């Protein structure tokens, strides 16, 4: 039996699924070095203010046992949370694409279904009525609660992208004021200027910024380690802080739960370790943190504690700067001071790049509108710059800095966001352990109990700060969660409509009776050498349009003239069958172009795709001149598919099928291609009426307002074609979509 469709594969050597970056040797070492300038600047600048956050300068010096207990709490918090929880556990749960963060954990629970690219090019057959996604690893009844929870965690992580630059830069300028008190009244305007420069620099990309920032951060951590070792000699007894019972006894002895709010500042930025996974890879993060960052921080806190025990009230005004070895205002003091300023400015970079990664995931999973992205690396797809998000972060950060004149209140807001995100991650990790990794239930439960206990302690301490400024990230997180939830819901309804209204071309485009019978076996795609008996019909043959699924059969068909043009119909969502755009186009303009191309675009995990590997083409036998095409683009390539390149590939396929060109098919195709139109759908969404009993009027009114007044306008503002080159040349076919 002859095949109804002919396909030529042009995709050799292309990995169509993005995977985590795998490096070794010098490349892995260099990537590990780059992480210093992006991921750890936030957690690395915590020694500037943590001890004064636990014991304010306005109070007296604590006792030796209290200092040892406080340092012990810091050391074990750094060990249990950033080191064990994030570096050694969380990084095991990134997506197959190498992404991390709260949304990546949700994607692990409900992964996108593996899709066969051949099906996108299938325009005949009835197998496109697929069942719903079967790839989920956990019961569907938990989907919405887990989605809401992960969106809230993601939203708070993005809120950190606003708060982290505000805290870091304001702290830097506050340090300048310590050296020169006359500057204290100008902290806010100086901070705003620095923030403007920082956000404008984001367009140079993660790799470029990491190349600049990494050496500075490296020197900063070496200074922390060196000064820490020197200070430990002032009171070696501080090493007793490695005993965790000292931390427990501190809280038993003092009963001061608020101390945890200060200790929490020592682990701020640990969520960036996981969220920035897509910017680097797991091993580069493990090597840099466990081998360099973690020991430097531990030594720094031990050294500060040793000097505080020895010098007491003499260093309470500013524990970090007053414990720098050597004379006050000596050479080492100014070296540390300069690098402290640079490090605190760089600290904001961690959450800015983490926010870019999270937004990229959300856009790809259709949780946010299709925002314009700029990929800044030739090797790592996760290194991305998103202009709109960058400037929204800039505006939000500047507003926060201007509104919070009190740095203590700003720090309270910061700590609450960090604690909530850590608790959210713990819950999602425990669920993944059981249902994705299929680890024993006792392991998942044990993990949740242990780390949930620690996260709960920090979260409770931070919750008490809500009236003092922590309401800000809570408000930002709720707003972002509502936006993401709304777009996910509304876009899902539109995509569902698109999938349900695909048509089998065989049932819609009917050949004239005098053209002879067509092969009815239309439900497979095979790649085979056509024999000399392969029937290639003239593209000028006429067809008739029949009724579509869901319409009443009127018992008659409408003739379609073949026009000497070429039309490229873009399939926005993946799946079999002709898209609803084509049906709407034929209804509005009852004519059939001689060459009709149904195009799917797939972005692959390499920077650029060669022209030889770019296109895969399937010819439809049922209706002559119809082709299903998949175009593969590298993640750094412009979203520009050239019709002339596709036409040449189609001509090569036709020459392969009919080397003698008995029917002159290639000449007809090239003639038609002189006039080519790109056609995409523009869904004019209308809310369907639901029957919800007595509440129907209210529910339908709210639903109509959300879909028709809000989503419809946002979809117009952020079209699917927004990232396409020459978008003005695209014809938008308006289609009423009742969703």
Q: What is the per-residue pLDDT across 453-470, written as a single tens digit (0 to 9) for each?
A: 999 999 888 888 777 777
No. of helices (H) and no. of strands (E), the chain? 26, 11
- Verify that 453 and 527 share a domain, yes or no: no
Exposed / middle / buried, residue 297 (Cβ in 10 Å: 0-12, 13-18, 19+): buried
33 domain residue, yes or no: no
The arithmetic mean of pLDDT across residues 173-178, rounded, is 63
Task: Give the range among 297-301, 503-507, 710-714 with minimum mean pLDDT.
Answer: 503-507
> What pLDDT is stored for residue 420 in this prediction?
83
- Verify that 472 and 531 share a domain, yes or no: no
Give residues with Cβ within 8 angstroms of 9, minimum separation 6.
527, 616
- Verify that 442 and 531 share a domain, yes or no: no
CB 299, CB 230: distance < 8 Å: no
Kindly report the backbone phi and psi dihedral angles of residue 684, in degrees, each rounded to the nearest multiple of 5, phi listed first. -95, 95
Report the C-alpha gap between 605 and 377 in whole angstroms: 12
Is the pLDDT confidence value at 95 over 80? no
Is the pLDDT confidence value at 370 over 80? yes
> What pLDDT is stored for residue 400 in this prediction?
84
- Verify that 197 and 329 share a domain, yes or no: yes
- DSSP classification of residue 517: P
The arithmetic mean of pLDDT across residues 521-536, rounded, is 38
- Verify that 374 and 406 share a domain, yes or no: yes
CA distances from 553 to 221, 547, 556 (A): 75, 6, 8
Kindly report the backbone phi and psi dihedral angles of residue 404, in degrees, each rounded to the nearest multiple of 5, phi listed first. -100, 90
Q: What is the pTM of this model?
A: 0.75
CB 721, CB 730: distance < 8 Å: yes
CB 61, CB 308: distance < 8 Å: yes
Domain endpoint, select from 432, 456, 484:
484
Q: Which domain holds residue 383?
A: 39-110+145-484
Report the C-alpha gap between 277 and 95 in whole angstroms: 10
Strand partners, 733: 681
Task: Give the range among 17-26, 210-219, 672-681 with minimum mean pLDDT.
Answer: 17-26
> What pLDDT is stored for residue 48 in this prediction?
85
Is the pLDDT confidence value at 530 over 80? no
- What is the pLDDT confidence band of residue 129, given thresholds at 50, 70 and 90? very low
125 domain residue, yes or no: no
134 domain residue, yes or no: no
% of the chain surpassing 70 pLDDT: 79
- Verify that 177 and 293 share a domain, yes or no: yes
> What pLDDT is stored for residue 131 in this prediction?
39
- Number of CB atoms found within 10 A of residue 732's CB: 15
> What pLDDT is stored for residue 132 in this prediction?
41
CATH of the domain at 164: 1.20.1740.10
423 domain residue, yes or no: yes
Is the pLDDT confidence value at 532 over 50? no
- Verify that 605 and 471 share a domain, yes or no: no
Range with the largest mean pLDDT of 398-412, 675-689, 701-715: 701-715
End-to-end C-alpha distance for the chain, whole angstroms: 42
- Verify that 511 and 431 share a domain, yes or no: no
- What is the pLDDT confidence band of residue 516, given thresholds at 50, 70 and 90? very low
Report the C-alpha gap between 98 and 31 in whole angstroms: 15
- Verify that 53 and 194 share a domain, yes or no: yes
In the block, residue with structure tokens 């031990």: 302
Number of domains in the chain: 2
Exposed / middle / buried, residue 406 (Cβ in 10 Å: 0-12, 13-18, 19+): exposed
- DSSP secondary structure string, 334-355? HHHHHHHHHHHHHHHHHHHHHH
- Verify that 469 and 515 share a domain, yes or no: no
> What pLDDT is stored for residue 133 in this prediction?
44
Domain endpoint, select from 455, 484, 513:
484
- Verify that 542 and 440 share a domain, yes or no: no
Kindly report the backbone phi and psi dihedral angles of residue 692, in degrees, each rounded to the nearest multiple of 5, phi listed first. -120, 30
- Verify that 230 and 99 share a domain, yes or no: yes
Nearest Cα to Cα of residue 509 among 552, 555, 559: 559
- DSSP classification of residue 430: H
127 domain residue, yes or no: no
Is the pLDDT confidence value at 534 over 50? no
| CA atoms 485, 489, 492, 498: torsion sign | negative
415 domain residue, yes or no: yes
137 domain residue, yes or no: no
Is the pLDDT confidence value at 96 over 70? no
Q: What is the per-residue pLDDT across 637-646, written as a single tens digit (0 to 9) for each?
A: 666 677 888 9
The arithmetic mean of pLDDT across residues 608-624, rounded, is 83
Nearest Cα to Cα of residue 82 among 260, 249, 288: 288
């Amino acid at each position: 039996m002859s095949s109804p469709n002919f396909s030529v594969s042009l995709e050799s050597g292309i990995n169509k699924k993005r995977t985590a970056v795998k490096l070794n040797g010098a490349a892995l070492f260099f990537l590990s070095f780059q992480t210093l300038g992006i991921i750890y600047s936030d957690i690395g600048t915590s020694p500037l203010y943590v001890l004064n956050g636990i014991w304010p300068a306005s109070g007296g010096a604590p006792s030796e046992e209290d200092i040892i207990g406080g340092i012990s709490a810091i050391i074990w918090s750094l060990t249990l949370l950033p080191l064990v929880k994030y570096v050694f556990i969380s990084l095991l749960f990134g997506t197959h694409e190498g992404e991390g963060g709260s949304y990546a954990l949700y994607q692990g629970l409900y992964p996108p279904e593996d899709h066969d690219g051949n099906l996108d090019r299938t325009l005949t057959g009835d197998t496109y009525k697929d069942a719903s996604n079967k790839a989920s690893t956990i019961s569907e009844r938990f989907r919405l609660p887990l989605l809401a929870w992960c969106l809230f965690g993601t939203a708070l992580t993005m809120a950190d992208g606003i708060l982290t630059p505000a805290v870091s830069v304001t702290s830097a300028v506050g340090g300048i004021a310590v050296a020169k008190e006359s500057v204290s009244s100008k902290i806010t305007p100086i901070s705003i200027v620095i923030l403007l420069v920082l956000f404008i620099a984001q367009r140079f990309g993660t790799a470029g910024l990491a190349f600049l920032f990494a050496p500075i951060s490296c020197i900063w951590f070496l200074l922390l380690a060196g000064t820490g070792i020197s200070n430990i000699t002032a009171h070696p007894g501080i090493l007793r802080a490695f005993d965790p019972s000292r931390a427990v006894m501190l809280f038993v002895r003092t009963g001061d739960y608020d101390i945890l709010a200060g200790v929490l500042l020592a682990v701020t930025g640990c969520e960036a370790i996981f969220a920035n996974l897509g910017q680097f890879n797991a091993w580069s993060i493990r090597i840099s943190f466990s081998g360099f960052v973690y020991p430097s921080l531990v030594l720094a806190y031990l050294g500060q504690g040793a000097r505080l025990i020895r010098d007491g009230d003499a260093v309470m005004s500013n524990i970090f700067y007053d414990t720098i070895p050597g004379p006050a205002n000596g050479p080492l003091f100014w070296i540390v001071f300069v690098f402290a300023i640079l490090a605190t400015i760089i600290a904001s970079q961690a959450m800015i790049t983490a926010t870019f990664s999270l937004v990229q995931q959300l856009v790809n999973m259709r949780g946010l509108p299709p925002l314009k992205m700029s990929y800044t690396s030739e090797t790592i797809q996760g290194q991305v710059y998103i202009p709109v998000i960058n400037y929204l972060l800039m505006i939000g950060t500047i507003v926060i800095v201007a509104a919070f004149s009190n740095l203590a209140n700003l720090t309270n807001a910061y700590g609450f966001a960090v604690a909530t995100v850590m608790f959210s991650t713990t819950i999602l990790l425990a669920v993944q352990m059981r249902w994705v990794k299929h680890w024993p239930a006792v392991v998942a439960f044990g993990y949740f109990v242990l780390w949930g206990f620690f996260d709960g302690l920090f979260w409770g301490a931070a919750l008490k700060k809500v009236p003092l400024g922590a309401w800000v990230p809570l408000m930002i997180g709720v707003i972002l969660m509502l936006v993401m939830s709304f777009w996910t819901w509304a876009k899902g309804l539109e995509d569902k409509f698109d999938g349900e209204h695909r048509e089998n071309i065989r049932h819609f485009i009917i050949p004239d009776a005098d053209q002879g019978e067509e092969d009815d076996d239309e439900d497979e795609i095979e790649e085979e050498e056509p024999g000399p008996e392969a029937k290639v019909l003239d593209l000028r043959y006429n067809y008739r349009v029949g009724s579509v699924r869901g319409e009443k059969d009127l018992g008659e068909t409408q003739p379609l003239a073949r026009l000497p043009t070429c039309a490229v119909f873009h399939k926005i969502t993946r799946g079999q069958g002709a898209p609803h755009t084509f049906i709407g186009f034929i209804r509005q303009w009852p004519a059939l172009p001689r060459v009709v191309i149904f195009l799917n675009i797939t972005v692959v995990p390499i920077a650029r795709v060669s022209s030889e590997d770019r296109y895969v083409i399937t010819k439809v036998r049922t209706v002559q001149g119809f082709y299903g095409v998949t175009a593969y683009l590298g993640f750094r390539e412009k979203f520009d598919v050239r019709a002339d390149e596709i036409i040449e590939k189609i001509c090569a396929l036709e020459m392969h099928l009919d080397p003698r060109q008995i029917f002159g098919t290639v000449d007809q195709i090239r003639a038609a291609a002189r006039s080519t139109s790109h056609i995409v759908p523009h869904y004019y969404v209308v809310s369907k009426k639901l029957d919800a009993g007595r509440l129907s009027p209210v529910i339908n009114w709210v639903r109509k307002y959300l879909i028709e007044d809000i989503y419809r306008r946002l979809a117009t503002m952020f079209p699917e074609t927004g990232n396409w080159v020459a978008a003005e040349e695209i014809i938008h076919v308006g289609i009423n979509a009742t969703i």
